[in-house]
Amino acid sequence: MKNKFYVTTSIAYTNASPHIGFALELIQADVMARYNRSRGKDVYFLTGTDEHGQKIAKKAKEEGVEVENFVDDIVCDFQHLIRELNISNNDFIRTTDKERHWPTVVEIWKKMEEKGDLYKKKYTGYYCVGCESFLTEKDLVDGVCPNHELEPEEIEEENYFFKLSKYEDEIKKLISEDRLKIIPTERKKEILSFMDGGLSDISVSRSADKLEWGIPVPGDDNQVMYVWIDALSNYVSALDYANQGEDYEKYWPADVHCIGKDILRFHSVIWIGILLSAGIDVPKNIFVHGFITSEGKKMSKSLGNIVDPFDIINDFGADPLRYYLLAEIPTTGDGDFTKKKFVDRYNSDLADGLGNLLSRTIGLAEKIDAKFDPERSPGGEIKQKIAKVKKNVEEDLESFNFKRALETIWDLIHYTDRYIEEKKPWKEGWEQEKTIFEMLYICYTLHELLYPFMPETSEKIKHQIISRERKILFDKR
């Protein structure tokens, strides 16, 4: 099973339409999937939606729609985004899927219970009737709920707790030894230092009358599972863990969970605890990306600076957005989206850089009637340069360094422009044909290298080289 690659995104919470941050995550996971597929691996690429929870039930009620219809609509939006972005996932799991998802969740719950890791405990919390939820002490302002200005009631509730503390040492060990590798290492440090504070048990259920929209606890109708076991289990439910299905046998453990920094703790601590308790292998890597700001500020409705991925795709297409998010945003850090930076990148890198290089190449090939011959390959300097670039890009992709991989590819583009200037293939001479062939060959290499990042553009480049039809790749804006 060495030749498989299982990559997941986090599952999106269906309380609102997709956000550009989720687009980033999908795109990064897609690069991993496409790259590994092109290397001949058997790739399973999962994404999906997390649809339970009181927040969603409440929002549906506010809008006066059935909660099922409410989530269906939002799921539709997410699936639309996935299509528009050219994401190559082969599966999509929904936590409301009673056939595929629920049996696994129930199975995991039972395994944890058998292990003696679940127990009931009374819990006292501040319940705000207005919010219809528990508030923590720090939510309170002068002892009242800031939204409703009501003094919360102290309510005692009995819930199931998971003995997470029991697995503290084991989780720490897995992470520090990189058997569960957290990328980048800053995040690994962050989580290890968090765990130094000690882990306490977490509550994993809610009373059914507070949280009706969820998966019932097996054997206890008064309790509904809280998000942890429900949502995180998607990574194995999609593979049919409940029946120890073929896919589970073949693809688990996951090679990479691609997530945002906000949910690192849940994945590297709680999820791992759940897996250890249920006796399931742990994933190999957790890849953590940052957040995207808009015009330097956190995106928010009140600021009106929300970036809608659909607007950009409609205007420019998927590849320019993919390129921007991969090349401009630091791969594991926070980054900024502004229309100006986006258009600058688009013009200088895509239109003037890549597009223009292809255009001059095809132009010259037409002029002397040169044809691309895949059997023929260049020697000397060009051969070495291409080999080096390919090797570096490969290394960058293996280590999830998408931005650097693109920088390496663009280095080849700049290099080629310089090479053309030096060889002046528009002038007749003994080197003319050779140089133009080298240009074609480099463009063909670019098509291969760019495939994981910009699949549509990659295909267009290949087509132009083979058909020798010159077309503008990216219109200058």
Stretch that binds RNA, among 26-34, 85-93, 387-395, 417-425 (CB under 7 A): 417-425
Part in contact with RNA (CB under 7 A); list of ranges 38-46, 343-351, 375-383, 446-454: 343-351
CA pair distance 386, 389, nearest whole angstrom: 5
Edge-to-edge strand list for the sheet holding 202-203 = 133-135, 118-128, 153-162, 202-203
Interaction of residue 13 with RNA, rule CB under 7 A:
yes
Beta bridge partners of 293: 336
Which stretch, 65-73, 86-94, 212-220, 351-359, contacts RNA (CB under 7 A)? 351-359
CB neighbour list of residue 454: distance below 8 Å, 6 or more residues apart: 319, 322, 323
From residue 139 to residue 178, what is the string marking binding to RNA with x (rule CB under 7 A)?
-------------------------x--------------
CB atoms within 10 A of CB 148: 12
- For RNA, the binding residue among 367, 376, 383, 463 (CB under 7 A) is 367
By the rule CB under 7 A, 57 interacts with RNA: no
Residue among 96 and 133 whose Cβ is closer to RNA = 133
101 binds RNA (CB under 7 A): no
395 lines the binding site for RNA (CB under 7 A): no
Binding status of residue 212 toward RNA by CB under 7 A: no
CA–CA separation, 409 vs 392, rounded Å? 9
Ranges of beta strands (E only) in 213-308 are 216-217, 220-225, 256-260, 285-289, 292-294
Between residue 251 and residue 270, which ones bind RNA under the rule CB under 7 A? 261-263, 265-266, 270
For the chain, what is the largest distance between any 2 Cα atoms, rounded to a whole number of angstroms? 89
Residue number with CB closer to RNA (99 or 196):
196
Residues 35-54 that bind RNA (CB under 7 A): 50, 53-54
Of 162, 174, 230, give the one whose Cα is nearest residue 199: 162
Tell whether residue 228 is a contact of RNA (CB under 7 A).
yes
- Count of residues binding RNA (CB under 7 A)? 81
Distance CA 344, CA 331 (A): 19
Neighbours of 451 (CB within 10 A): 20
Token reading at 371? 């044809």
CB 70, min distance to RNA, A: 13
Residue 66 touching RNA (CB under 7 A): no
